[in-house]
Amino acid sequence: MSRQITVAAAQLGPIARNDSRAQVVGRLIAHLQEAKRLGCDLVVFPELALTTFFPRWFMTDAAEIDSFFEHRMPGPDTQALFDEAKRLGLGFSLGYAERTPEGRHFNTSILVDRDGTIIGKYRKVHLPGHREHEPWRRFQHLEKRYFDESDTGFRVWRAFGGILGMCICNDRRWPETYRVMGLQGAEMILLGYNTPVHNPPAPDHDALSLHHNTLVMQAGAYQNGCWVVGVAKAGNEEGVPMIGGTQIIAPSGMTVAATRGEGDELAVAVCDLDACLSYKSTTFNFAAHRMPQHYGLIVERRGAELPP
């Protein structure tokens, strides 16, 4: 079986609050069709790819909040996406807001095989932002309010001839994310994000937001000898500018394909999974070189404790 996967990182431009699911799914299907034309096997969509990034608003009405969540996957609005991907023989990963039958809420990503079967589900671990209304901010970031804590952790799946994992947005800033998947042999990590240019608690970071995006994903790829596919929902969404920076990163840490703008756009690369081996078997041969007996604090301690 070929160890090459041709991947489309399917960046989305802004989604308006009033855009219907059908409108958005139409854009996702256009991406699938273009990816097929370009010879792709797998299409990676961003975080919360079916709606606007709703955690920017403080809401108290449960029905209004639930209107941003999918109650079934595929459901009435997303069946067309699954049907078209299957017809084209394409796999995809998709981020969306998930409401379970028990009424739990997750920021979720799924991995879908070429035949339309959901083969992997990941629920976001690192939920950034805050729980309560903070009117001093230019816009809110209420992921801690609207989403439950992950019950999946970081897993990987044998798919597309390799070992694939997923994470979501803020997860990409944490080295533990990549390492937990690296320790399961991950050869490719798929991740979508919605990252405002402006970070209200730290406006001094704003000018560095694209740099930080590339920095963490390249480091994660290199230090674990795996491919990383990072996909933005970008552009000015409901008055909030969001970074682009969609890119496909090789196990060397080098970006090999990237979008140029902040609208709907594909970045495509032929990803050789065997390129992981050179890193996984030498510098980052974990079995030979890791020293976990010295890493205890990483799981024992949450926040930094300073010496006396």
Residue in 216, 265, 219, 308 with CA at minimum distance from that of residue 46:
265
Please state, in angstroms and rounded to a whole number, the distance separating the CA atoms of residues 243 and 213: 9
Q: Is the peptide bond before 175 cis (omega within 30 degrees of 0)?
A: no
Are the CB atoms for 119 and 157 separated by under 8 Å?
A: yes
Q: What is the nearest approach in angstroms of ligand CDT to the Cβ of residue 223?
A: 19
Angstrom distance (rounded) from CA 245 to CA 231: 8
Tell me if residue 233 is catalytic: no
Are 181 and 189 spatial neighbours (Cβ–Cβ below 8 Å)?
yes
Residue 143: name the closest of 239, 56, 264, 39 by CA.
56
142 binds ligand CDT (CB under 6 A): no
Catalytic status, residue 276: no
Which among 83-91, 158-166, 189-197, 217-225 is the span making contact with ligand CDT, rule CB under 6 A? 189-197
Q: Which of 109, 150, 195, 224 binds ligand CDT (CB under 6 A)?
A: 195
Cβ distance to ligand CDT smaller for residue 177 or 224: 177
Please report whether residue 241 would count as binding ligand CDT according to CB under 6 A.
no
Restricted to residues 27-56, the positions that interact with ligand CDT (CB under 6 A) are 47
Residue 198 interacting with ligand CDT (CB under 6 A)? no
Our answer to whether residue 144 is catalytic in this structure is no
CA 175, 125, 283: angle at the middle one, nearest 5?
20
Question: Whose Cβ is closer to ligand CDT: residue 154's or residue 193's?
Answer: 193
The answer to whether the beta carbons of residues 271 and 227 sit under 8 Å apart is yes
Annotate each residue in 163-182 with x if it binds ligand CDT (CB under 6 A) or - if it does not, as one string: ------xx--x---------
Q: Which of 36, 70, 84, 124 is catalytic?
A: 124
Asked if 154 is part of the footprint of ligand CDT (rule: CB under 6 A), the reply reads: no
DSSP per-residue codes, 224-241: HT-EEEEEEB-EEETTEE
Could you tell me the smallest distance in angstroms from the CB atom of residue 236 to ligand CDT? 16
Shortest separation between residue 164's beta carbon and ligand CDT, angstroms: 21
199 counts as binding ligand CDT under rule CB under 6 A: yes
Q: How far is the CB of 195 from ligand CDT (least distance, A)?
A: 3
Q: Which two tokens stand for residue 15?
A: 């989604």
The one-letter amino acid at 107: N
Per-residue b or e along 140-168, where b marks 16 or more CB atoms closer than 10 Å to that residue's CB: bbbbebbbbebeeebebbebbebbbbbbb
194 forms part of the interface with ligand CDT (CB under 6 A): yes
In DSSP notation, 96-121 reads: EEEE-TTS-EEEEEEEE-TTS-EEEE
User: Closer CB to ligand CDT, residue 72 or residue 138?
Assistant: 138
> Is 137 one of the binding residues for ligand CDT (CB under 6 A)?
no
Measured from the CB atom, the residue of 47 and 113 that comes closer to ligand CDT is: 47
Say whether residue 214 binds ligand CDT (CB under 6 A).
no
Give the x/- contact pattern for ligand CDT in 109-128, rule: CB under 6 A: -------------------x
SS3 10: strand
User: Which parts of this chain interact with ligand CDT (CB under 6 A)?
Assistant: 47, 128, 169-170, 173, 193-195, 199
- Catalytic residue set: 47, 124, 169
